[in-house]
Amino acid sequence: QVQLVESGGGLVQAGGSLRLSCKAPGLTFNSYDAKWFRQAPGKEREFVAAIRWNGGRTHYADSVRGRFTVARDSIQNLVYLQMNGLKPEDTARYYCNTEGYCAGAACTNVELWGQGTLVTVSS
């Protein structure tokens, strides 16, 4: 099954930091915008951050702006989410999303998601 793979989640105290990573084994997505979403228990999935395909522009939800930073490494074919100043309300499963991908020379605009990585922030 073609999907993204997120990693880096875990348990951290309030005020702490985590860095999430997103990769696409066997694929590349450097030509596509990428986003991070999160879903807390009992709540709907919400947008967290986005980065353009070339890394030239980023966008953040108001709730994380100034604390989270999204970046990408086109050589390593990775997207990151650096999370600082974590709060208990940041507790959620975090998902990576891309608007397309390439398998070798074949590219498609089919959206990809991962299984998510769990972030738990204790007070």
Read off the pLDDT band of 40 (50, 70, 90).
very high
At 50-98, the pLDDT tens digits run 999 988 899 999 999 999 999 999 889 999 999 999 999 999 999 999 9
Predicted confidence at residue 44, as pLDDT, reads 97
pLDDT at 1 over 80: no
Predicted confidence at residue 2, as pLDDT, reads 82
* Residue 58: partners with Cβ closer than 8 Å, 6 or more residues away: 49, 50, 51, 52, 69, 70
At 18-37, the pLDDT tens digits run 999 999 999 999 999 999 99
Predicted confidence at residue 38, as pLDDT, reads 98
Size of the chain in residues:
123
- Contact indicator for 80, 17 with CB cutoff of 8 Å: no
Token pair listed for 22: 């997103």
How far apart are the C-alpha atoms of 98 and 82, rounded to whole Å? 18
